[in-house]
Structure 1
Amino acid sequence: MAADAPRLNIWAVSDGRAGIEAQVDGLAQAVARLRPAEIVIKRIGWRWGLGRLPSRLNPGLLATLTPGSGLHPPWPDIWIAAGRATLPLSTRLRRLSGGRTFVVQTQHPRQPIKAFDLVVPPIHDRLTGANVLPIVGSPNRLSPAQLAAELERFRDKLESLPRPRVAVIVGGASKAFGLPAERAARMGREVAEAVTASGGSVLVSFTRRTPQAAREILRAEWARLPGVVWDDRGDNPYFAFLAAADAILVTEDSTNLATEAAATGKPVHVLALEGRSEKFDRFHHDLRERGSARPFAGRLESWDYTPLAETDRAAAELLRRYDARN
């Protein structure tokens, strides 16, 4: 592809949930690091739940989107989508665009994959096919440049904290996992004891899935330690925490959180929750096999490994296939 090729127009499409949007935006940004591109974030919704119907039962597809979805021609060069809400459109985008748009779906679409130019699922979903590129974990927005920029933004709040600085990223409730009060209290004590023994500090970030009761228990426990417990007010220091950390503790319920942690090259300790998932067992096994993560065993450890760069690998393959088609 010539160096003076026109800028790509990329739509990153989801239902707006933070974890889903992070995947499509992250992959789009990785493509833009390789090729000049304009990225447009699209957040879609469906009237009357029609997005759950098979496409053939919703012939007026675009008309049943909620106001503000902003999906209409001209269609982009590359469509990167994730989540169930996007599937009625993703599966028809090649036809709607007259074959012009290169259609990419992250995650396992749970339906025939022939409608997509490329599917980027996690390896632990065990999806295969000629148009499938399995990766460890999920696409993410993390890059060395972004980490450096975010660390600089929050430097005044973080640089004086004692080392080791331990980022603690807490998820919580999902279909497979839970964080009840008893487990939160035990986790709080175990992490506090490990950080105290190390002489370090904490950088704590909760997610929307963290139950309020667990959040209050953990906040009270960790507020006694040197460090920062983000209170959801002001700019989110999540990426700055990852950049400043010497070690990262992350709960086992989120592929996104663990993947982003492993992309830093910092030691990643996985915090156990209540519940179990075979898919997540496979995912965490993959991280252990690569040397990225270990189960948290009540103490902080230090080791080296090659940072996970699966998003960049997916972006390079996406462009290779896009160029081959065009």
Structure 2
Amino acid sequence: MGAAPQGRSNPLSIWVVSDGRAGIENQALGLAEAVQRLTPADIAVKRIRWRPLFDRLPSAWKTSAMLDPSSDKLTPPWPDLWIATGRATLPLSVRVARWSGGRTFVVQTQDPRWALGRFGMVVAPAHDGLSGDNVFEITGSPHRITPARLAEAAPAFADRLAGLPHPHVAVLVGGRSKAFDLPDAHAAALADQIARAVDAVGGSLLLTFSRRTPEAARAAITARLSPLPGWIWDGQGDNPLFAFLNAADHVLVTEDSANMATEAASTGKPVHVLPMVPLKPAGKFARLHADLRSHGAARPFDGALTPWTYEPLAETDRAARAVLEAMAAQA
């Protein structure tokens, strides 16, 4: 699947539609970029928001006239492929095929939890347990991580990372969510365990925090890990995440984020899952981590930085091939 769909002479036009939040936009954009790696395509990013008066209305009641004027314009010519993500896009995703006279193939990432049969394809995490004729399940979520993208990010941070002792240990710390919490005492205990592990192998630390990391947890982790060689990114300047993943020999990731775990597993580096304080039964996160373990990518962090190898997870590419196959079948 390396050429344009049969009968096409022009590049595929793709719209990536979201409310602009980076975490979810990157799912749709990552899938679009994976399609673009398989066939010539032009990608346009469309960010939308609803007027505050209408934002909380049920999706079925919303019309495009209710969009905030700050939204990007959604007008013809309609794209060949519409890839959207997030609740805000649902009222538009279910209508764009009709607006385009059936020309636009609609893909929704994540579980839409509404009107499942009205999308051309739903690319959903397997751990959500979604089923349907138009559902394509993948391990984790689509994302933008590729070996080439990581390598491209490395030179900008090469001087900062040069000379740090191996193994390089990338640590990706999330924060409080509906399912997990990271109180400062637990954060401190995790940091002490990480420090002992890095000390034991004579390595260095490459650490980033999430926007969701509680300030007290951030302070506790920083205080305990600052003596180690390495870099704890303070949020200032360009984000070094891709450079960290490129340089890493091991990746430690807190269990609260499906995106972080999936992205880490795409590197082929050992992924160690850091426990957090559960606020409810692990459910879908437990299923995701089980899937990553069965692939050979991830293991619970046991305090030791033991190396292992596995085939990098390439679920975004697999989903992109399925999208093109579904478009060809519909043509």
Aligned to 2:287: 282
Q: Contact (CA 8 Å) 2:60, 2:91: kept in 1 or not?
A: no
Is 1:214 aligned with 2:249?
no
Aligned to 1:17: 21
Q: Structure 1 residues 186 and 17, CA, compared in 2 at 3 Å: closer, same or farther? A: same
Aligned to 2:65: 63
Map 1:144-155 to 2 at 5 A: 144-155=147-158
1:263-284 per-position Cα deviation (integer Å, ceiling 9, x unaligned): 0000000000000421100110
1:190-245 per-position Cα deviation (integer Å, ceiling 9, x unaligned): 10110011100010011111111111111121111100111111111101100000
- Specify which of 23, 27, 30 is matched with residue 26 of structure 1: 30
Letter in 2 for 1:177: F
Aligned to 1:45: 49
Letter in 1 for 2:15: W
Q: Structure 1 residues 153 and 5, CA, compared in 2 at 3 Å: closer, same or farther? A: farther
Q: Structure 1 residues 165 and 129, CA, compared in 2 at 3 Å: closer, same or farther? A: same
CA distance in 2, matches of 1:112, 1:87: 9
Shift in Å at residue 48 of structure 1? Answer: 2.4
Q: Contact (CA 8 Å) 1:81, 1:90: kept in 2 or not?
A: yes
Shift in Å at residue 4 of structure 1? Answer: 7.0
Aligned to 2:118: 115
Aligned to 2:304: 299
Which stretch shifts more, 240-249 or 145-154?
145-154
Q: Contact (CA 8 Å) 1:108, 1:125: kept in 2 or not?
A: yes
Extract unaligned runs of 5+ from structure 2.
none
- Specify which of 84, 95, 98 is matched with residue 95 of structure 1: 98
SS of residue matched to 1:85:
helix
Q: Contact (CA 8 Å) 1:164, 1:199: kept in 2 or not?
A: yes
CA-based RMSD of the aligned residues comes to: 1.4
- Specify which of 306, 321, 325 is matched with residue 316 of structure 1: 321
Shift in Å at residue 21 of structure 1? Answer: 1.0
Q: Structure 1 residues 185 and 19, CA, compared in 2 at 3 Å: closer, same or farther? A: same
- Which portions of structure 1, spanning 4 or more consecutive aligned residues, are displaced by more than 6 angstroms? none
1:259-310 per-position Cα deviation (integer Å, ceiling 9, x unaligned): 0000000000000000042110011011011110000011111101110000
Aligned to 1:72: 74
Letter in 1 for 2:16: A
Is 1:325 aligned with 2:327?
no
Which stretch shifts more, 305-314 or 217-226?
217-226
Letter in 2 for 1:32: Q
Shift in Å at residue 55 of structure 1? Answer: 4.3
CA distance in 1, matches of 2:265, 2:28: 18
Extract unaligned runs of 5+ from structure 1.
none
SS of residue matched to 2:91:
helix
Q: Contact (CA 8 Å) 2:6, 2:328: kept in 1 or not?
A: no
Q: TM-score, structure 2 length as denominator?
A: 0.95
Is 1:271 aligned with 2:236?
no
Q: TM-score, structure 1 length as denominator?
A: 0.96
- Specify which of 164, 167, 184 is matched with residue 167 of structure 2: 164
Q: Contact (CA 8 Å) 1:173, 1:211: kept in 2 or not?
A: yes
SS of residue matched to 1:133:
strand
Q: Structure 1 residues 117 and 4, CA, compared in 2 at 3 Å: closer, same or farther? A: closer
Aligned to 1:198: 201
CA distance in 2, matches of 1:122, 1:229: 31
- Specify which of 181, 184, 202 is matched with residue 181 of structure 1: 184
- Specify which of 103, 108, 123 is matched with residue 105 of structure 1: 108
Q: Structure 1 residues 239 and 216, CA, compared in 2 at 3 Å: closer, same or farther? A: same
Shift in Å at residue 119 of structure 1? Answer: 0.3
Count of residue pairs the alignment pairs up: 324
SS of residue matched to 1:120:
strand
